[in-house]
Amino acid sequence: MDIIANVLLGFRVALEPANLLLCFVGVLLGTLVGVLPGLGPVAAISLLLPMTFKMTAAGAIIMLAGIYYGAMYGGSTTSILMNIPGEAASIITCLDGYQMARQGRAGPALGISAFGSFIAGTFGVLGLMLLAPWLGKAALKFGPPEYLALMLLGLTLVAYLSHGSVIKAFLMTVAGLLVGTIGTDPISGHQRFTYGSITLMDGVGIVPVAMGMFGVAEVLENVEKELAGEIYQTRIKGLFPTLKDWGESLGAIVRGTILGFFVGLLPGPSSMIASFSSYAMEKRLSKNPESFGKGAIAGVAGPESANNSATAGAFIPLLSLGIPANLVMALFMGALMIHGVQPGPLFISEHPDLFFGVICSMYIGNVMLLFLNLPLVGLWVRVLKTPYFFLCPLILLFCLVGAYSLNGNVVEVAITIFFGIVGFLLRKFSFDGTPFLLALVLGPALENNLRQSLIIARGDLSLFFSRPLSLILILATLFLLFDSAFSWFRNRKIPSVAE
Amino acid sequence: MLLALFGLEETRKLPVGTWKSPAPGFFPLVLSFLLSVVAAFLLWTALAKGKKEASRIAFFASSAGRTRVWLTVLALVFFNLSLETLGFLLTSFLFLAFLIRVLSSQKWMVILGGSFLFSFSLYVLFDLLFKLPLPRGVLGF
């Protein structure tokens, strides 16, 4: 009965005209961001975060959430029509989606992608609604050692799953933690690495860094390479999948939904991992695995469903534990804190209207997206033709203005530009910025829990091994570290296996 | 490595405390040390690999690409230095016009018209609609 009352409360919040409009704006912008290659949800949410200052907390999160799951819907459009993924989670859709378009089946590909995303998104939100409150209650039993161990596991997992070199990812994680110490020490009030700068006394903000590393750096990369893609020129017809298409896709959608939801709980690029894992699973389970890569509809349905349900799953660690599982969640954490809301075990009990309001708006948003993606696909194709020489400068300007508007401080603009150049250089040397940014966000909380744990234990590290949950988490972290080291040594000994 | 060495040097000025009672310098010191170890290891593997691989990969894909990137960075620095002096409208107009010219060979009317339209739209969006004041500059707008 409690949950029914909360859901009704949630719908009351979600159906307020202002929140309904913000939901629509969010999903529309999200689809646009997903459609446009080169601008992912991280950069988009960073750009739009300053605009949410004047909104209520519920309105802000509703709009930003709409951008996040809207981008998952939109990303499939460019994958299918241009063979260029709109965002990372849609990379795998290129394999079969584009082949379906070349066979004159762009319509069913787009259609099954939209319907699969809708079904998965809806069930994902249901899972979020049921699991998050339960996990929040369980997390009340966590102490500083458990939180520390969980954060260490999260950061290690992000580095472990990062694309490219694991050593580089670990380097970025430690660098992010170090940069996160800049500012005023919250316990003693000591200034660390501030050099008298009032701006740096508050630490290095996540928004300017995110806009720099993922907005400015992305544009610099595009400016260098002059990204251009060929849109598959055909009249898109038959958006509604046939019964045969449904027969071939339904299993993939169900499996993708369940897989994606649980993968979404894990730290790291969960949407991308979910879509890749779903593709691998469908290919393995298929009676005709050789058809994958040549236009198999299950190769579109499964991954697109998985990445959408992963977006719902990713909210759970943030809202119930206060730990962001990926970059987008880190920005959500920033947005909540800007509005004076602390995510964590007490979030749901203290702000049921906010939690259930956002959940219910996600149901509504999924319905909106179904209507946006199918009839408006022609419009999105036209948007894809926007010249890059207009888009790139505009994205840069958005980043810079967004940085300035945070505090009316030109130093934040300089930080954005600095991290934009750093981000560009990191990409050139194949360093992934994701572990850096996540570490920057988690660093202060991690340090706080570490110091509290050491004070409680009076310097005795066996505290972490004497508490069961902390022990499990620490062992999992050590396992990942040893596995990374072992893989590295093994690849060094037998380089041909690695190739 | 530079960041690690910088961190190690700067944390000497902070109280470190002990395991039982860590002070503000404790965590940065541990991280700086860890960073220096990982960075040294990465440097060693890169140097070892460099001896085996004779080919050199160009940093920029093309000289035209390199020029575009440098000019874009220049535009970004200009924006930062001029924003509060010239004001948002003029700075963003010049910024956009310069970049569109760098990235395309459009006619000047298109460049100037588009730059004005976008910079004014952003001014309306941020300053008037979202009430996030943007700098006016010495010219008053």
pLDDT, tens digit (0-9, with 9 covering 90-100), for A24-79: 989 888 888 777 766 677 777 877 777 787 788 899 999 998 888 888 778 788 78
Biggest distance spanned by C-alpha atoms of chain B:
69
A124 vs A158: CA distance, rounded Å:
22
A117 vs A113: CA distance, rounded Å:
6
DSSP A54: G
**What is chain A's Cα-based Rg?**
22
Shortest distance between the Cα of B51 and any Cα of chain A, in A, equals 15
**Per-residue confidence (pLDDT) for residue A238, from 0 to 100:** 62
Q: Is A411 on the interface with B (CB under 8 A)?
A: no
Residue B94 pLDDT level (bands cut at 50, 70, 90)? very high
Residues written for chain B? 141
Q: Which residue from B minimizes the CA distance to A194?
A: B10
Question: H or E element: which one contains A188?
Answer: none
The region of weakest confidence among A188-197, A223-232, A369-378, A464-473 is A223-232
**Per-residue confidence (pLDDT) for residue A498, from 0 to 100:** 36
Contact A224 B61 (CB under 8 A): yes
Q: Is A452 on the interface with B (CB under 8 A)?
A: no
Helix B2-11 vs helix A166-179: crossing angle, to nearest 10:
30
**Whole-prediction pTM value?**
0.77
Q: Who wins on pLDDT, A387 or A9?
A: A9
Residue A234 pLDDT level (bands cut at 50, 70, 90)? low
State whether the Cα torsion A442-A67-A267-A463 is positive or negative. positive
- The residue with tokens 């990369």 is A221
Give the tokens for residue B24.
């503000």
Give the tokens for residue A369.
């997206």
Mean pLDDT, chain A, as a whole number? 82
ipTM: 0.88
Shortest distance between the Cα of A152 and any Cα of chain B, in A, equals 13
**Per-residue confidence (pLDDT) for residue A495, from 0 to 100:** 39
pLDDT of A418 > 90? The answer is: yes
pLDDT, tens digit (0-9, with 9 covering 90-100), for A354-385: 888 888 888 888 888 888 777 777 777 676 66
pLDDT of A311 > 50? The answer is: yes
CB atoms within 10 A of CB A498: 11
**Per-residue confidence (pLDDT) for residue A226, from 0 to 100:** 66
Q: Which residue from A minimizes the CA distance to B59?
A: A428
Q: Could you give the angle at the alpha carbon of A197 between the alpha carbons of A193 and A202, nearest 5°?
A: 75
**Per-residue confidence (pLDDT) for residue A419, from 0 to 100:** 93
pLDDT, tens digit (0-9, with 9 covering 90-100), for A244-278: 888 889 999 999 999 888 888 877 667 877 888 88
**Per-residue confidence (pLDDT) for residue B51, from 0 to 100:** 55
A87 vs A109: CA distance, rounded Å:
17
Shortest distance between the Cα of A301 and any Cα of chain B, in A, equals 36
